[in-house]
Chain A
Amino acid sequence: MKKFLRVNMKDLKVTESSVPDKYSKTGGRGLTSQMVLDEVPPKCHPLGPNNKLIFAPGIVTGTSAPSSGRISVGGKSPLTGGIKESNAGTPFPQSMARLGYKALIVEGQPEDTDKRWVLKINKDGAELIQSDDLKGKGMYETIKILKERFGNVDICGVGPAGEEKMAMAGICFNDPEYRASRYSGRGGLGAVMGSKCLKAIVVEKVTSPIEPQDTDLFKKGQRKLVEGLRSHDVTKPGGTLNSYGTAALINVLNQAGGLPTRNFSEGVFEEAEKISGETIAETIKQRGGSGQTGHSCHPGCIIQCSNIWAKPDGSEHVSCIEYESDWSLGANLGIDNIDEIAEMIRICNDLGLDTIEAGVMLGVAMEAGLAKFGDGKAAIELLQEIGKNTPLGRILGNGASFTGKAFGVTRVPTVKGQGMPAYEPRAVKGIGTTYITTPMGADHTAGYTIAPEILSVGGKFDPLSPEGKAELSRNFQATTAFLDSTGYCLFTSFAILDIPSALEGMVETVNAVLGTDLSTEGAVEMGKEILKVERKFNELAGFTKYDDRPPEFMRYEKLPPHNNVFDVPDEKLDEVWDF
Chain B
Amino acid sequence: MGFLIKYKIEGLLYELRAAHFLREVKKMIKVKVKLFATLRKYHPYPEKNKSFEVELPEGATLNELYKEIGINRKEIKFTFVNNRSCSDDYVLQDGDDIGIFPPIAGG
Contacts and interface: CB of A to CB of B under 8 A. Distances in A.
A246 B105 CA distance: 7
B53 to A, nearest CB: 17
A248 B37 contact: yes
A463 to B, nearest CB: 8
Nearest to B50: A273
A268 B40 CA distance: 21
Nearest to A240: B104
Interface string A248-272: 1101100111000000000110000
A178 interface: no
Chain A interface residue count: which class? Answer: 35 or more
B107 A323 contact: yes
A252 B104 contact: yes
A273 B36 CA distance: 10
Contacts of A490: 107
Contact of A240 (B49, B80, B99, B105): B105
Interface string B84-107: 110000000000000101111111
A488 interface: no
Contacts of A472: none
Contact of A279 (B49, B77, B82, B105): B49
What is the interface residue range for chain B against chain A? 20 to 34
Interface in B62-94: 77-78, 80, 82-85
A232 B104 CA distance: 11
Nearest to A427: B83
A256 B85 contact: yes
Interface stretch (A10-18, A121-129, A145-153, A450-458): A450-458
Contacts of B106: 240-241, 245-249, 277, 305, 322-323, 491
Interface string A458-486: 00001110000000000000000000000
A455 B37 contact: no
A244 B37 contact: yes
A26 interface: no
A255 B37 contact: no
A139 B96 CA distance: 49
B36 A491 contact: no
B107 A252 contact: no
A255 B80 CA distance: 6
Contacts of B85: 256, 454, 456, 462-463
Contacts of A445: 107
Interface of A: 232-234, 239-241, 243-249, 251-252, 255-257, 267-268, 273, 276-279, 305, 322-324, 444-445, 448, 450-451, 454-457, 462-464, 490-491, 494, 561-562
5 smallest beta-carbon distances between A and B, as pairs: A246-B106, A257-B83, A255-B99, A233-B103, A255-B80
Given A240-B103, A256-B80, A256-B85, 5 more contacts: A240-B104, A243-B38, A278-B49, A448-B107, A455-B78
23 contacts: A239-B103, A240-B38, A240-B102, A240-B105, A241-B105, A241-B106, A243-B37, A249-B106, A251-B101, A252-B104, A255-B99, A267-B83, A268-B83, A279-B49, A305-B106, A322-B106, A323-B106, A324-B107, A450-B105, A451-B105, A455-B105, A491-B106, A562-B83
